[in-house]
Amino acid sequence: MKALRITRHGAPDVLEYADVPMPGLDADSALVRVHGASVNPSDVKNVAGHFSQTTLPRIPGRDFSGVVEQGPPAWRGVEVWGTGGDIGFIRDGTHAQYIKLPVAALVRKPAALDHAQASAIGVNFVVAWLGVVDYAQLHEGETIAVIGAGGGVGGAVTQIAKSLGCRIVGIDRYPVDASSPAGKRMHAFVPFDEHAATGVRSLEGLADGVDVVFDSVGGVAFEAALGMARRRGRVVEISATGRRRVELDLVDFYHNETQLLGADSAKLGVVEAARLMQAIAREFDNGKFDAPVIAHRYSLAQGREAYEAVAQGTPGRVVIVP
Sign of CA dihedral 221, 224, 226, 231: negative
Mean pLDDT within 307-316? 92
| pLDDT digits 0-9 by tens, 104-119 | 999 999 999 999 999 9
- Give the containing element (helix H, strand E) for 155: helix 152-163
| pLDDT digits 0-9 by tens, 172-223 | 999 999 999 999 999 999 999 999 999 999 999 999 999 999 999 999 999 9
| pLDDT digits 0-9 by tens, 72-93 | 999 999 999 999 999 999 999 9
- Residue pair 223/242 in contact by the 8 Å Cβ criterion: no
| pLDDT digits 0-9 by tens, 259-295 | 999 999 999 999 999 999 999 999 999 999 999 999 9
The per-residue pLDDT of the chain, averaged, comes to: 96
| pLDDT digits 0-9 by tens, 214-243 | 999 999 999 999 999 999 999 999 999 999
List Cα–Cα distances, 170 to 191, 195, 197, in angstroms. 8, 14, 12
| pLDDT digits 0-9 by tens, 136-173 | 999 999 999 999 999 999 999 999 999 999 999 999 99
| CATH architecture, domain defined by 2-121+292-320 | Alpha-Beta Complex (3.90)
| pLDDT more than 70, % of the chain | 100
- Every domain range in the chain assigned CATH 3.90.180.10: 2-121+292-320, 124-264
pLDDT at residue 316 is higher than 90: no
- Residue pair 253/246 in contact by the 8 Å Cβ criterion: no
Dihedral, CA atoms, 204, 210, 212, 217, nearest 10 degrees? 80
3.90.180.10, 1.10.600.10, 3.30.540.10, 3.30.930.10: which CATH number matches 124-264? Answer: 3.90.180.10
DSSP codes joined into one string, 249-315: -HHHHHHHT-EEEE--GGGS-HHHHHHHHHHHHHHHHTT-SPPPPEEEEE-GGGHHHHHHHHHTT-S
DSSP 134: I
What pLDDT is attached to residue 314?
Answer: 86
First-last CA distance in the chain:
11
What pLDDT is attached to residue 295?
Answer: 93
- Give the containing element (helix H, strand E) for 116: helix 115-118
